[in-house]
Amino acid sequence: MASSASALRVLLLVVLALASCASAAAAVAARTPPLANGLSFEFYKATCPQAESIVFNFLQDAVRNDVGLAAALVRIHFHDCFVQGCDGSVLLDKTGSTDSEKIAPPNVTLRPTAFKAINDLRALLAKACGAVVSCADIAALAARDSVQLAGGPHYPVPLGRRDGLTPANLTTILGALPRPTSNVTTLLSFLAKISLDADDLVALSGAHTLGIAHCVSFEERLFPTQDPTMDKWFAGQLKLTCPALNITNTTNNDIRTPNVFDNKYYLDLLNRQGLFTSDQDMHTDGRTKPTVTKFAVDQAAFFDQYVFSVIKMGQINVLTGNQGQIRNDCSAPNAASSSNDELPWSVLETVAETLAL
Ligand code: HEM
C-alpha cells in the first residue's frame, strides 16, 4: 500500500515536471519576437548544417580555458548590433584611411581574444562549408553559446545576416552606444532609436552578470565625492581596486557570481551594489524598478525576457539577401574582385537558368 502511494507520488511529480517543461518551452517559443525579413532559424540547413555545432564545440573548449571570453563575446554582439545594425562592422580593422570602430572609446575595452575567437570560428566554418556563414551570424551565435556556457538560457538564433562593407564613424558610434554614466532617461532615449523598450533595457543590462569593467568606467561614482546611491561597503571595496582617478585596474561587474549568467546582478542592484550609474539607476527609476525587482527574485522571468530581447537586438537593421557580403576575413572587407561580392546567388541562379534554356 505504502509503495503504491509512493509510486503514485513519483508519477505525479514526473507529470508535473513534464508539464512545467512543456509550458516553459511553450513560453520561450511564444516569446520569440517576429523575424526580420530574410532571416530564418534554418538559414544554413542546406549550406552548412553543422554550423551551430562547430561554433558550440569550439567555444566549449575556449570558454573552459578562459571564462572571460564568454563575457567578451556577449558584449561584442551588443556593440555590433547597436551601431549601424548587426552587420559585423565592429569586427573590421582599419583599412587605408577608414578607421576601425575598435578605436572608438566605448570599443577600446572589447577584448582581442574575442575578435580572435570569431576569426578562428570563421576559418573553421569556411573549412567545413566554404564561405557561406557571415561574420555577423558568427558573432550572434558566439554570444548565444557564451550565455549558455556560463549557465544561462539557450535560445534559437535567427540567421542569414550579411556582413557590412564599412565601419561606422565615431559620431555614429557615440550616438548609438550609451555611456555607463547615463541615467534611465538617457538610456531609454538611446534604445528608442532602435525600437527597444524599458523591458529590453532591464533584461539586456542583465548581461552585466558576466565580465569585468575598468575603473575609468565607474570612477566618477567614487571621486571626487562618493555617489550617495552606492552602498558604502561596496564603495569601500571598489576604492581598494581603484584608489584614485585613472587607475587601469578592473573589477567584476557582478560582485556575487561574476562568471555565472544568473539573476544575481539584479540582487546587486537591490543592494545598491550596481557598478555603473546606468545599472543602478534602473533600481531608482519608476519605469524600470518593478522589472529589476521581479528579475531579482525570479530568474526564469529574467531568462525569458533576456531571450526575447536578445533575439530582438540581434535583428536590428540587419543586411540580408544580396546586401553586404560574406566576409572572407571578419576583420577586413573582401577585396573588390571577391566572388562573394560580385556574384550574389540570385545572379548565379539567373545565369544557371539561362544556360539551362
Ligand atoms: C545599456 C547600456 C550599457 C552600458 C552603458 C554598458 C556599459 C558597459 C561598460 C562601461 C562596460 C565595462 C567596459 C570596461 O570598462 O572594460 C561593460 C561591460 C560589459 N557589458 Fe555592457 N553596457 C550596456 C549594455 C550592455 C548590453 C545590452 C550587453 C549585452 C547584451 C552588455 C554586456 C556587457 C558585458 C558582457 C560586459 C563585460 C565585458 C568583458 O568582461 O569583457 N552590456 N558595459
Residue 162 phi, psi dihedral angles, 5° rounding? -110, 160
Q: Where are the extended beta strands (E) located within 95-233?
A: 212-214
CA torsion sign for 169, 175, 178, 181 is: positive
Among protein residues, the one whose CA lies closest to atom 5 of ligand 1? 180
Q: Supply angle C-alpha 244, 249, 254, rounded to 5.
A: 105
Distance 327 CA to ligand 1 centre (A): 26
Distance 210 CA to ligand 1 centre (A): 9
Question: Ligand 1: which of 186, 208, 285 to mutate, most ligand atoms within 8 Å of CB?
Answer: 208
> Which atom of ligand 1 lies at the shortest distance from residue 191's CA?
1
Residue 206 grid cell? 542583465
Cα(92)–Cα(102) distance, rounded to whole angstroms?
Answer: 8
> Which atom of ligand 1 lies at the shortest distance from residue 180's CA?
5
Return the active site residues. Answer: 79
Note down pLDDT in tens along the chain; length 357 residues.
Answer: 344 444 445 444 444 343 443 333 333 445 899 999 999 999 999 999 999 999 999 999 999 999 999 999 999 999 999 999 999 999 999 999 999 999 999 999 999 999 999 999 999 999 999 999 999 999 999 999 999 999 999 999 999 999 999 999 999 999 999 999 999 999 999 999 999 999 999 999 999 999 999 999 999 999 999 999 999 999 999 999 999 999 999 999 999 999 999 999 999 999 999 999 999 999 999 999 999 999 999 999 999 999 999 999 999 999 999 999 999 999 999 998 654 544 444 333 333 333 332
Among protein residues, the one whose CA lies closest to atom 23 of ligand 1? 205
Residue 180 contacts residue 190 (beta carbons within 8 Å): no
Residue 316 grid cell? 536590428
Scan for cell 582599419, then name that residue.
94
pLDDT score recorded for residue 337? 62
Q: For residue 311, which of 98, 144, 151 has the smallest C-alpha distance?
A: 144
pLDDT score recorded for residue 18? 39
- Alpha carbon 318 to its chain's center: 15
Q: For residue 276, which of 251, 312, 248, 246 has the smallest C-alpha distance?
A: 251
pLDDT score recorded for residue 347? 38
Distance 13 CA to ligand 1 centre (A): 41
Residue 34 grid cell? 517576429
pLDDT score recorded for residue 31? 84
Distance 179 CA to ligand 1 centre (A): 9
What is the enclosing helix (H) or strand (E) of 252? Answer: strand 250-252
168-214 pLDDT, tens digit each: 999 999 999 999 999 999 999 999 999 999 999 999 999 999 999 99
Question: Ligand 1: which of 188, 205, 251 to mutate, most ligand atoms within 8 Å of CB?
Answer: 205
Cα(73)–Cα(111) distance, rounded to whole angstroms?
Answer: 8
**Angle between helix 51-65 and helix 135-149 axes, rounded to 10 deg:** 50
Among protein residues, the one whose CA lies closest to atom 24 of ligand 1? 205
Q: Is 264 helix (H, G, I), strand (E, B) or coil?
A: helix
Distance 57 CA to ligand 1 centre (A): 25
pLDDT score recorded for residue 9? 53
> Which atom of ligand 1 lies at the shortest distance from residue 310's CA?
30
**Ligand 1 shell residues, CB under 6 Å:** 68, 71-72, 74-75, 78, 109, 111, 178-180, 182, 187, 204-205, 207-208, 210-214, 217, 253, 276, 278
